[in-house]
Amino acid sequence: MSDTVIGIIGGSGLYDISGLEGAEWVQVDTPWGAPSDQFFTGTLDGVKMVFLPRHGRGHVHTPSSVPYRANIDAMKRLGVTDLFSLSATGSFREEMAPGDFVIVDQFIDRTFAREKSFFGPGCVAHVSVAHPTCPRLSDAAETAAKAQGITVHRGGTYLAMEGPQFSTLAESKMYREQWGADVIGMTNMPEAKLAREAELCYASIAMVTDYDSWHPDHGEVDVTKIIQTLMGNADKGRGLVARLPGLLGAERAPCPHGCDRALEFAILTQPDNRDPEMVRKLDAVAGRML
């Protein structure tokens, strides 16, 4: 058994969490550069919590400029064991309405301008992301959402687009009708892939703000309406987060799904051939194996 440390990455509109004891903002340096912001740390119901506003306080990072590798590396350095992502999304499904939450279990990655791995020349690794989220954490997120009175949908495919523009109508219809995506956002990739490489259990909670551009009765994305829904979703998200420590508990057993052992057979470069500089940069992410 080990201590549970819950990490929260808050998306658009969610820049802090309330109720933490001993709360403080702390700076974390990483070999991958500066994270999005300082980390808000403290304890809640006896469980250590670590919160990061993905876009930075004041929303200074675009989806493409978010320093995803630094964010995940810093979470690992702070001892996080279980990472929850909350993010604003559009919906491709009538029943997944603005104000609803979706517990995502699959992704389609359409991003192209981001570094997607901690590994590279000098230390090559291939992890499986066939099932990119942790069912144990998804169970906790669903339970917390229902207890908070949130309309929540369990299971959904998140289409990650590069942005920062929203979809064209043609793209929106293709993602919905041909590709079978359920929600669309700009930030969960490569975040989920990096969390897996860092052997972190990861759950994605999509907070629906709009119907993208496919819906015949809603037309194109209306940013004013999105912001109104965003603020309501952020309040719901804070309530959901506050329930997680009580559900996960202060002591943590190994993940039954193996998320915390994802690198067990993933690193292919032989020890004698590993680049020492790469190994140094991987000290937090892959230190268990290296």
**Residue 94: burial class (beta carbons within 10 Å; 0-12, 13-18, 19+):** exposed
pTM to 2 decimals? 0.96
Per-residue pLDDT of the chain (290 residues; tens, 9 = 90+): 889 999 999 987 787 788 899 999 999 999 999 999 999 999 999 999 999 999 999 999 999 999 999 999 999 999 999 999 999 999 999 999 999 999 999 999 999 999 999 999 999 999 999 999 999 999 999 999 999 999 999 999 999 999 999 999 999 999 999 999 999 999 999 999 999 999 999 999 999 999 987 887 766 666 777 788 888 888 899 999 999 999 999 999 999 999 999 999 999 999 999 999 999 999 999 999 99
d(CA 173, CA 230): 23
How far from the centroid of its chain's Cα atoms is residue 181's Cα?
Answer: 18
User: What superfamily does domain 2-281 belong to in CATH?
Assistant: Nucleoside phosphorylase domain (3.40.50.1580)
Choose among 30, 40, 106: nearest CA to 72.
30
Q: Which helix (H) or strand (E) holds 53?
A: strand 47-53
For the chain, what are the domain ranges?
Answer: 2-281
The C-alpha torsion from 51 through 53 and 54 to 55, rounded to 10°, is: -170
Active-site residue set: 210, 212
Measured in degrees and rounded to the nearest 5, phi and psi for residue 166 equal -80, 175
Backbone angles phi, psi at 241, to 5 degrees: -60, -40
Q: What is the pLDDT of residue 222?
A: 65
**The tokens of 193 are what?**
């892939």
